[in-house]
Every structure is written in structure tokens, then in C-alpha cells.
Amino acid sequence: MRNSLGWLVVPIAAYLVITLGLPAANGALHSSAFLTHARWVVLGCAVIIPTAAGIARLWALAGHRGHS
């Protein structure tokens, strides 16, 4: 199961760097709008990752090969 989600690491990391890291590096850390944005980004990732894990688990239970 863990290996089946390995393909998500790079896209999620890139998304977090672009949506949080770059604005933070440009001084947005003290903005309340950025903090609201950051909460939504983290919440979105917290929804996407378990959803992808569930789909990968169902895919594996159906007898399909993983991405590894």
C-alpha cells in the first residue's frame, strides 16, 4: 500500500513548494490571507492523500498491479 502511493510524493511536494513555499519566501507569512490560503492548501492535501490511498487500495483489491 505504501509503495502504491510513492508516485504522489513528487507532485504533492511540488504543489506545496509552489503554493506555500514561494509566497512564504516572498514575505507572505505575515499576511492573514496567506494563512487562510495555507490552511486550505493543507486541508486539500489532507483530503487528496487519503482519497488516493483509498482508490489505490480498491485498485489493489480488484487485482490490478500498482505503479511500482
Distance CA 39, CA 47 (A): 12
Whole-number average pLDDT of the chain: 87
pLDDT tens digit sequence for 15-45:
999 999 999 999 999 999 999 999 999 999 9
State what percent of residues in the chain have pLDDT above 70.
88
Question: Quick one: which of 42, 61, 48, 63 has its CA closest to 7?
Answer: 48
* Cell numbers given for 42: 493543507
d(CA 59, CA 32): 40
Segment 41-68 shows an average pLDDT of: 84
**Residue 26: φ, ψ to 5°:** -95, 15
pLDDT at position 66 is: 56
pLDDT at 57 over 80: yes
Say if CB 56 and CB 1 are below 8 A apart.
yes
